[in-house]
Amino acid sequence: MSVIQQTIESNPVQQVVFDNKTTNLLGLDRAALEAFFESIGEKKFRATQVMKWIHQMGVTDFQQMNNLSKDLRRQLSETSCIQNLHVAKDLISKDGTRKWLLQLHDGNNIETVFIPEDDRGTLCVSSQVGCALDCSFCSTGRQGFNRNLTAAEIISQVWLASQLLEEEKKPGRKITNVVMMGMGEPLLNFDNTITAVRIMMDDFAYGLSKRRVTVSTAGVVPAMERLGDTLDMRLAVSLHATNDELRNELVPVNKKYPLKELMAACRRFIDKQNTRSRITFEYVMLDGINDKPEHARELIRLLKGIPTLMNLIPFNPFEGSGYSTSSKKAVTRFREILHASGMTTVVRKTRGDDIDAACGQLAGKIEDKSRRHRRFEEPRFGMEK
């Protein structure tokens, strides 16, 4: 089997290895696809032609790509593939939220959720099978960690959702925004997340603007630095606590990267962005734990000077979590204190909870959970494949 190794110069974070028998073109961004075509003696512009076929027209059969020569179509089908995930379950909630359980080739499953709103349709995409970070209130964390998703497996979620939503032939069922807020910690799967985000933003693929793609992190500080240097997009930070003592308990990655470092990284991220942007902070409201007026006041002090969109998330309970949802009164009082300080604050509506599609309810099905601790202890940012 001939293996052509290629480093993409214009794209320093990416090392692409082409195995000419199995290259899945679905997961290659434009630079990688151009390099792929050059590696088989073709012109670079084939990349944008093929991207359009795959991502905009939804075509996965090379024979249908009628602006490619017959020879090239044959060569592509012999040397590469366009391989999507398998839809194992497809559920629609009373509120229109749609959730897919997607099966990977190794038997693992992940979940992807589409959330329609009046003026937009948001796709919540997974980045890993399970999660290693073990946040105490998150059911994905309880499942343990198995592995990173490949770029193809990440973008396949967008591909499948676009196709399946289009088949509904209903208004308002189009993906206008993507949030990397499904299963996993995207910044611990850095390279594959970035490749997938590039495809989401490419005009020859999904054409989403940088304001419409959000990467969410529990606070992996070195990877946040790298993200700011790599690409413009929206950043969301899962904060959930206003002091280290509580955050260590709720979001254990805080023991490694405490609040002071996290806040400094947020400030640097904002400075690096080309456009004026805000950071979305996510704050899950846990009854009696982090929802008191003094927490709100602490939050205001903590985020001083950072352009903020505050997202208060009512806790979505699951069996054995040990937490309960803050009362409406507590959430309102908390929001009012933040609001009075001038902070833009929204309370996230719980969506799709009847099909377990709400925040923190994504669980998938994991074949081997034993890797959680190994993964968490040795984060080598951006090196994972």
| Residues with catalytic roles | 111, 359
Should residue 181 be labelled a site residue for ligand SAH when binding is judged by CB under 6 A? yes
CB of 153 to ligand SAH, least distance (A): 16
CB of 124 to ligand SAH, least distance (A): 8
Size of the site for ligand SAH (CB under 6 A): 16
Binding mask 295-314 vs ligand SAH (x if CB under 6 A, - otherwise)? Answer: ------------------x-
Closest listed residue to residue 7, CA positions, set 200, 191, 187? 191
CB of 138 to ligand SAH, least distance (A): 3
Q: For residue 284, what are the β-bridge partners?
A: 313
Q: Alpha-carbon distance 355 to 114, whole Å?
A: 12
Binding mask 238-277 vs ligand SAH (x if CB under 6 A, - otherwise)? Answer: x---------------------------------------
DSSP 8-state symbol, 134: -
DSSP 8-state symbol, 149: P
Selected binder of ligand SAH within 114, 137, 281, 381 (CB under 6 A) = 137
CB of 93 to ligand SAH, least distance (A): 16
Q: Which is nearer to ligand SAH, 30 or 142 (CB)?
A: 142
Selected binder of ligand SAH within 235, 310, 359, 363 (CB under 6 A) = 359
DSSP 314-365: E----TT----BPPHHHHHHHHHHHHHTT-EEEEPPP-SGGGT-STT----B
Query: Distances from the Cα of 311 to the Cαs of 29, 358, 371, in angstroms?
Result: 31, 14, 31
Closest listed residue to residue 126, CA positions, set 199, 186, 198, 63? 186
Selected binder of ligand SAH within 76, 227, 284, 357 (CB under 6 A) = 284
Should residue 123 be labelled a site residue for ligand SAH when binding is judged by CB under 6 A? no
Q: Which is nearer to ligand SAH, 54 or 302 (CB)?
A: 302
- Look up residue 87 and give its amino acid: V
- Look up residue 42 and give its amino acid: E
CB of 198 to ligand SAH, least distance (A): 19
Should residue 291 be labelled a site residue for ligand SAH when binding is judged by CB under 6 A? no
Q: Which residue is nearest to ligand SAH (CB)?
A: 360
Should residue 235 be labelled a site residue for ligand SAH when binding is judged by CB under 6 A? no
Q: Which is nearer to ligand SAH, 138 or 227 (CB)?
A: 138
Q: For residue 179, what are the β-bridge partners?
A: 124, 214
CB burial of residue 151 (10 Å; 0-12, 13-18, 19+): buried
Binding mask 189-228 vs ligand SAH (x if CB under 6 A, - otherwise)? Answer: ---------------------------xxx----------
Beta pairing class for 177-180 and 121-124: parallel
DSSP 258-295: -HHHHHHHHHHHHHH-SS---EEEEEEEBTTTT-SHHH
Should residue 352 be labelled a site residue for ligand SAH when binding is judged by CB under 6 A? no
Should residue 143 be labelled a site residue for ligand SAH when binding is judged by CB under 6 A? no
Q: What is the CA radius of gyration of the chain?
A: 21
Q: Which is nearer to ligand SAH, 25 or 149 (CB)?
A: 149
Should residue 281 be labelled a site residue for ligand SAH when binding is judged by CB under 6 A? no
Closest listed residue to residue 363, CA positions, set 329, 326, 316, 323? 316
CB of 181 to ligand SAH, least distance (A): 4
Closest listed residue to residue 109, CA positions, set 128, 136, 135, 81? 128
CB of 282 to ligand SAH, least distance (A): 4
Q: Which residues bind ligand SAH (CB under 6 A)?
A: 135, 137-138, 181, 185, 216-218, 238, 282, 284, 313, 315-316, 359-360
